[in-house]
Structure 1
Amino acid sequence: MGFFLETLIGGLMAGMLYSLIALGFVLIYKASGVFNFAQGAMVLFAALAMARFAEWIPQWVPALANPIVANVLAFALALAVMVLVAIAVEKLALSRLVNQEGITLLMATLGFTYFLDGLGQTLFGNDIYKIDVGMPKDPVIVAESLFQGGILISKEDLYSALIATVLVALLALFFQKTATGRALRAVADDHQAAQSIGIPLSTIWIIVWSVAGFVALVAGVIWGSKLGVQFSLSLVALKALPVVILGGLTSIPGAIVGGLVIGVGEKLSEIYIGPMLGGGIEIWFAYVLALLFLLVRPQGLFGEKIIDRV
């Protein structure tokens, strides 16, 4: 029982990190109807900016060599860079492609992906960098009195999951309770109707891409702290694709539930089913589950069902 709970908790914590990346897809799709294929590149670009600024700031200003100060300033600078990226996306692409076919916008985000990958290498280099924000690496054993040997929990995974949980909750409140959040949802429902009542599309799109950039930065810092900042980091975002398919492209709660289901499902299946199939099930479990949902319920668990009337 203790081992099962240990696996379950590990899956839940991994699922919250998947949900965090999936939020980037959901936020942009809700506000602009664009499936942002560049979310993985945004995570990598933000993590590179954070890692390199944290390294450069003590060199630029030796008085700021304190790691905490350097990390805070690096995070602020990286966030400013992501806001500039959001402004550039709106000015150079979205404002010129408004009301175009979905495939046109998708191709634009694909081009944006390769542009960010190349720009990241040009500005920040292509080595493996580390991000050290002080999260503890040592595991902790809990519930020793209840289960033989206790339950082993990674402190770093626990802290990461808590950060992701708080951020997801704040973003859900932002969308539901603030005037800006309601404006974002109005734009998502109907661009022209939103414009007719005075909602500025350009401002809304800059806001939502900036928020998605902030989410990408937090996800990049967490994953960069765990895995190191390297160009394979952008592939982590591919795990968010089954999450948004499972939860629904338009649902923040769906991103949360989808992430948890996939996080727990892949851990349990690897432990209990993997040995019978030769292992490796954790690699493809999420995609097979997403495929089944596409066949049975394409809009996902919480997505809006599209009804075409003729």
Structure 2
Amino acid sequence: MDFLSSVFVEPFVQIGQYPLFFVEVVIGGLLSGVMYSLVALGFVLIFKASGVFNFAQGAMVLFAALSFAGLMEHGLHWSIALVLTMGIMALVAIAVERLVLGKLVNQPHIILFMATIGITYFLDGFGQTIWGSDVKVLDIGIPQTPIDVGGVFINQFDIFAAVVAGLLVLVLAVFFQKTRVGRALRAVADDHQAALSVGIPLKTIWAIVWTVAGLVGLVAGIMWGSKLGVQFSLALVALKALPVLILGGFTSIPGAIVGGLIVGVGEKVAEVFWGAAFGGAIEDWFAYMLALVFLLFRPQGLFGEKIIERV
């Protein structure tokens, strides 16, 4: 009975007694979910353009953060380091297209997926070779102190990250829906051979989408690096993007945001109010259990397209 009480009674009693604290936990979860969404956006971009899950997105986030922090350690102002890192990520994207993806046009998706695994380990090793393996402190002047909003304390850094993510989603949504390049990206995802037959330059499109994914990875790397420090475990943040993608749908940019918010709120609330009943560490596995439920009942996610194959 003690266990049942701690699961079904005590958490709701605590919520009733401390409503402002509950609101604070929910807001913290929402803002944390935005950080997950930033990583998930990179996965969505590559998947929309190639139909392949990009295992290397976490490594791209890490490599971008390492490059940015490394340039700042050499005395460059953060704005100059940012521009140079954007150029570095564009060069990485072009190299990926020229040396890897360009050689694998029309190959099965599993081949492309395995190629992204190879890119992951290369970027991890290459980043360590260039910038070293020490943990780097990243400070670009974003305040980390909480502010009091009606009795609820909200971290200023989390607010800043949420605003940045919102602007990214808006820009990318317009890019995919309203621009000629965005429409070409969607056509390439549907059928590589058909896209080539109507004159869409597949190699150029892939280079563009990998560049955009790299820039999204740079933003995510700066946000996560400022919060956790730039270290090689940062690449593991990408693993938390998997449940986000499963919830939101692999092809939906808004879905990446909604999925991130659900995961962020769910794991924070579960950890704070149900952690004691399950011995803690709910935050480590909650998102994956939630994703498993979605795979059983709605595998395409909340915003993903349901695939119907006729035989």
Is the pair's TM-score, using the shorter chain for normalization, greater than 0.5? Answer: yes
Aligned to 1:7: 25
Structure 2 residue 90 is the aligned partner of structure 1 residue 89: no
The 5 Å alignment of 1:188-227 reads 188-227=189-228
Moved segments of 4+, more than 2 Å: none
Q: Is the 8 A contact 1:57 1:74 kept in 2?
A: no
Structure 1 position 199, deviation (Å)? 1.0
TM-score by length of 2: 0.92
Aligned to 1:64: none
Structure 1 position 178, deviation (Å)? 1.2
Structure 1 position 57, deviation (Å)? 4.0
SS in 1 for 2:74: helix
Distance of 2:99 and 2:111 partners within structure 1:
14
Deviations along 1:60-99, whole A, 9 cap, x unmatched?
xxxxxxxxxx111101111111111101111111111111
Aligned to 2:3: none
Aligned to 1:273: 274
2:273 partner letter: Y
Structure 1 position 198, deviation (Å)? 1.4
The 5 Å alignment of 1:128-139 reads 128-139=135-146
Aligned to 1:35: 53
Aligned to 2:78: 71
Distance of 2:187 and 2:111 partners within structure 1:
22
2:121 partner letter: Y
Distance of 2:173 and 2:249 partners within structure 1:
15
SS in 2 for 1:43: helix
SS in 1 for 2:100: helix
Distance of 1:72 and 1:53 partners within structure 2:
11
Aligned to 2:234: 233
**Which sections of structure 2, spanning at least 5 residues, go unmatched?**
1-18
The 5 Å alignment of 1:132-147 reads 132-143=139-150
Deviations along 1:94-129, whole A, 9 cap, x unmatched?
111111111111111111100000000111111011
The number of equivalent residue pairs is 293
Distance of 1:256 and 1:129 partners within structure 2:
28
Distance of 2:221 and 2:240 partners within structure 1:
14
Distance of 2:198 and 2:75 partners within structure 1:
45
**Which sections of structure 1, spanning at least 5 residues, go unmatched?**
59-69, 144-149
Structure 2 residue 113 is the aligned partner of structure 1 residue 106: yes
The 5 Å alignment of 1:113-132 reads 113-132=120-139
2:35 partner letter: L
2:268 partner letter: K
1:41 partner letter: A
Q: Is the 8 A contact 2:106 2:193 kept in 1?
A: no
Query: Of 44, 59, 68, which residue of structure 2 is paired with 1:26?
Result: 44
TM-score by length of 1: 0.92
SS in 2 for 1:276: coil
Distance of 2:246 and 2:174 partners within structure 1:
22
Distance of 1:188 and 1:107 partners within structure 2:
18
Deviations along 1:259-279, whole A, 9 cap, x unmatched?
111111111111122221111
Distance of 1:156 and 1:194 partners within structure 2:
42
Structure 2 residue 51 is the aligned partner of structure 1 residue 50: no
